[in-house]
């Protein structure tokens, strides 16, 4: 297992479109070993998710996991999830404002509009089909990670640049209110 370097905003690889994998490629030692590296790198950097493209591998894999995360104390927990060749379909019109950050965008957060309900279709790391409905804050995390595989950063989706802030400013001025909004969403939709 190797910790990988994380590409930072401005690096052209973050704007590439990730290549889909075949089941044979996914089953290979190289890709299974890469998934171990991706998860270890995400955990080491205290990310809620990490896409392969962020560690200079433009293949359609991302990892998501939310435990007791000091970067995101208000986020509902998500067990370790590996998405391979994921496709998101937005369900319904409802949206919510999500304060996002990114391991590829150091020390900046901003408010992004996300779909409240999505359908995710993907494979897990063993090539089994995933077809689930994901809601709320967790749906926001899924949308952020799958965006990376299409060369999109959360910065591209910030509609009001006045919401951009450092992590320190977020904690001082916005976290309390946002955490309250998160609690309300989790109470209402369950995640």
Footprint of Zn ion on this chain (CB under 5 A)? 102
57 versus 127: smaller Cβ distance to Zn ion: 57
54 versus 85: smaller Cβ distance to Zn ion: 54
Length in residues, the chain: 191
Q: Which of 43, 49, 14, 4 is nearest to 140 (CA)?
A: 49
Determine the Cα–Cα distance for residues 171 and 50; give it in Å rounded to an integer: 23
Residue least distant from Zn ion (Cβ): 102
Considering Cα of 191, then 167, then 70, then 60, what sign does the dihedral take? positive
62 versus 185: smaller Cβ distance to Zn ion: 62
| Minimum distance from residue 112 beta carbon to Zn ion (Å) | 11
| Minimum distance from residue 22 beta carbon to Zn ion (Å) | 26
| Minimum distance from residue 15 beta carbon to Zn ion (Å) | 13
| Minimum distance from residue 72 beta carbon to Zn ion (Å) | 12
Q: Which of 16, 55, 19 is nearest to 38 (CA)?
A: 55
78 versus 102: smaller Cβ distance to Zn ion: 102
Asked if 146 and 86 count as a contact pair (C-beta separation under 8 A), the reply is yes
Other C-beta atoms within 10 Å of 80: how many?
Answer: 13
> What CA–CA distances, in Å, run from 83 to 24, 56, 102, 180?
16, 17, 18, 29
Instruction: Confirm whether 180 is a catalytic residue.
Output: no
**Facing residues of 50 across strands?**
63
Catalytic-role residue among 94, 145, 177, 180:
145
| Catalytic positions, written as ranges | 145
């Amino acid at each position: 297992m190797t910790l990988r370097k994380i590409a930072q905003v401005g690096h052209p690889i973050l704007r590439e479109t990730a290549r889909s994998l075949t089941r044979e490629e996914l089953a290979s030692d190289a890709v299974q070993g890469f998934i171990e590296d991706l998860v270890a790198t995400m955990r080491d950097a205290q990310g809620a998710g990490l896409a392969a493209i962020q560690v200079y591998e433009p293949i359609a894999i991302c990892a998501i996991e939310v435990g007791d995360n000091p970067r995101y104390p208000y986020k509902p927990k998500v067990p370790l999830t590996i998405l391979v060749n994921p496709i998101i379909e937005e369900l319904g019109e409802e949206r919510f404002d999500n304060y996002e950050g990114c391991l590829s965008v150091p020390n900046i957060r901003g408010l992004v509009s996300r779909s409240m309900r999505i359908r995710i279709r993907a494979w897990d790391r063993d090539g089994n089909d995933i077809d689930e409905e994901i809601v709320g804050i967790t749906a926001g995390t899924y949308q952020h990670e799958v965006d990376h595989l299409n060369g999109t950063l959360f910065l591209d989706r910030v509609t009001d640049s006045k919401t951009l802030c450092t992590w320190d400013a977020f904690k001082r001025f916005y976290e309390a209110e946002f955490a309250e909004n998160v609690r309300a969403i989790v109470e209402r939709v369950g995640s």
